[in-house]
Amino acid sequence: MRDKSSIELPDPTRQKAVASIKRFFAEQLDDDIGDLKAMLVLDYILAEHGPTIYNLALADARGFVEERAADVEGLGFPQEYPSLNAPKR
């Protein structure tokens, strides 16, 4: 991932994002924009803000994994080979 220059979306996701941007402009800004303008806005957001959002998501995921990894030790059995440690009769 380090050599990627920008975040790319699969076509179905990109189409939904463009539709969402067009709806936002219409509902919030009373401005009907076409697909081209919506795509330009999306490309700007992905290029300018995407890396920050992606990095924050990675940091959240890292914290989640580290938290779970700390719990792994507690998941083990309390005593290994209990029959070897049992008092002899």
User: 14-58: per-residue pLDDT in tens?
Assistant: 999 999 999 999 999 999 999 999 999 999 999 999 999 999 999
How many domains does the chain divide into? 1
pLDDT on residue 86: 75
For residue 18, count CB atoms less than 10 angstroms from its CB and return exposed for 0-12, middle for 13-18, buried for 19 or more: buried
Q: What pLDDT is attached to residue 82?
A: 81
Contacting residues for 54 by C-beta, under 8 A, at least 6 apart: 7
Q: Regarding predicted confidence, which is higher, 81 or 6?
A: 81
**What's the predicted TM-score (pTM) here?**
0.72
Question: Domain residues for 49?
Answer: 11-69
Looking at the domain assignment, is residue 80 inside a domain? no
Residue 4 inside a domain? The answer is no
Residue 1 has pLDDT above 60, yes or no: no
